[in-house]
Amino acid sequence: MLAPMAAPPTAATPSSVAPTDPLGVAGSDASLRRFLHGLPGVDQVGVESRAAGLATRSIKTTAKAYALDLAVSMVDLTTLEGADTPGKVRALSAKAVRPDPTDASCPAAAAVCVYPDLVATAKQALGSSGVKVASVATAFPSGRAALDLKLADVANAVADGADEIDMVIDRGAFLVGDYRRVLDEIVAVREVCARPGGHDAHLKVILETGELATYDNVRRASWLAMTGGADFIKTSTGKVQPAATLPVTLVMLEAVRDFRRATGRMIGVKPAGGIRTTKDAIKYLVTVNEVAGPDWLDPDWFRFGASSLLNDLLLQRQKMRTGHYSGPDHVTLD
């Protein structure tokens, strides 16, 4: 990435105000397009073999204990079903605050992720626990609605107290090359995330990489989202297959690493969907560690969008603590 020199890196704390277009590439449609198409390509075979190599790391004993706690603290515990109810969200919230009721040393999850109409319920259930409320918005998961409807969707969630907004990009616009439209939407959503008294809702931008299909597109969409002021870039809605994969996440981690070098600004990454086992989660953490760097080993900068992953992490934690495996009846089903 031949990005211009920029300000030195800021301290590793989430900034509440994301500058839009810090590289000054979005001045015109043409310059935006030139910039995105000027990003170095991604060789599919190479990136997949690098990911496969990282997946062979053997994480044992103390390293595994560290990874398990870190992974638990990075989970965005998610329920995004038509059948969601306040009861379900309250149960999930309780789980996020105390994932393992038998073990006080178990960290809390990072957030609970719900649809906008359940934000208030989640907010109330989580109270002052420190667990965040994330809400999908912008006509999730397809994003196929008029912009004002998408913004109203976001505004609703923000008004109800959402700490984080997970928006979807307009993949149709991206695939026809209308990058400006995608960028403008991100910027507009970003504005709606702002709260007058500060404490803006953090913006996660879902690329839906399963629909973008190529790694080149994933890299371009990542830079587009970061240019638009995303706090996080997120792989998937979980409603499209394939959802998160290790190579896709690797490409996004390279993007945030390079964006930081170019602008000094750190952006988070969230793979979502399809990460169900501890083994998988550890592969992702290894990749974070070795590709983006240890600064990203923090729930402020890396999250797992998952539901069933948490229980597998808990079972593994129990195994490390007691020396033997228990079973699915020893973790709570919520």
Partner 1 sequence: MTEIPTPASPFAYAPAPESTSVVDLRTSYGLFVDGAFVDGRGESFTTLNPATEQPLAEVAAADAADVDAAVKAARRAQERVWGRMPGRERAKYLFRIARIIQERSRELAVLETLDNGKPIKESRDVDVPMVAAWFFYYAGWADKLEHAGYGTTPVGVAGQVIPWNFPLMMLAWKVAPALACGNTVVLKPAETTPLTALLFAEICQQADLPAGVVNVLTGAGETGRLVVGHDDVDKVAFTGSTEVGRQIARAVAGTRKKVTLELGGKAANIVFDDAAIDQAVEGTVNGIFFNQGHVCCAGSRLLVQESIAEEVLDRLRARMSTLRVGDPLDKNTDVGAINSREQLDRITELAAVGEEEGAGRWAPDCALPSTGYWFRPTIFTGVTQAHRIAREEVFGPVLSVLTFRTPAEAVEKANNTPYGLSAGVWTEKGSRILWMAERLRAGVVWANTFNKFDPTSPFGGYQESGYGREGGRHGLAAYLQEENR
Give the active site residue among 95, 132, 234, 283: 234
| Closest to 299 measured CA to CA, from 190, 202, 178 | 202
* Candidate list 100, 153, 163, 166, residue with the active-site label: 166
Judged by CB, which is closer to partner 1: 65, or 139? Answer: 65
Note the residues at the interface with partner 1 (CB under 8 A).
Answer: 1-3, 5-9, 40-43, 45-47, 50, 56-64, 66-67, 70, 254, 260-262, 264, 285-286, 289-290, 293-295, 297
Q: How far is the CB of 9 from partner 1 (least distance, A)?
A: 6
Least distance in angstroms from the C-beta of 13 to partner 1: 15
Q: Which is closer to partner 1, CB of 60 or CB of 324? A: 60
d(CA 262, CA 120): 38
Q: Please tell me the distance from the alpha carbon of residue 247 to that of residue 188, in angstroms, as a whole number.
A: 30
Determine the Cα–Cα distance for residues 23 and 197; give it in Å rounded to an integer: 28
Report the largest interatomic distance among the alpha carbons of the chain, rounded to a whole angstrom: 60
* Residue partners of 16: CB distance under 8 A and separation at least 6: 198, 199, 200
Nearest to 230 by CA among 204, 254, 192: 204
- What is the residue type of 227? T
For residue 264, what is the DSSP state? S
* Active-site residue (options: 95, 132, 204, 270): 270
Question: Residue 24 Cβ, how far from partner 1 at the closest point, in Å?
Answer: 16
Residue 291 DSSP class: I
Place of tokens 């595994």: 64
Q: Is 283 a catalytic residue?
A: no
**Least distance between partner 1 and beta carbon 64 (Å):** 7
β strands within the chain, DSSP E: 75-78, 111-114, 132-136, 164-168, 202-206, 232-234, 268-270, 304-306
Least distance in Å: CB of 259 to partner 1? Answer: 11
Cα distances (Å, whole numbers) of residue 138 to 16, 116, 145, 178: 21, 10, 8, 18
DSSP, collapsed to helix, strand or coil, labels residue 99 as coil
Comparison of 46 and 177: residue with beta carbon closer to partner 1: 46
Contact yes or no for 181/170 (Cβ under 8 A): yes
Q: Which is nearer to partner 1, 73 or 79 (CB)?
A: 73
Helix ranges restricted to H, 74-203: 86-97, 119-126, 147-159, 171-175, 179-193
The question of whether 270 is a catalytic residue gets the answer: yes
CB of 156 to partner 1, least distance (A): 38
Q: What is the nearest approach in angstroms of partner 1 to the Cβ of residue 300? A: 14
Return the number of the residue (1 or 139) whose C-beta is nearest partner 1: 1
Residue closer to partner 1, measured from CB, 108 or 250? 250
63 Cβ contact list (under 8 Å, min separation 6): none
Active-site positions? 166, 234, 270
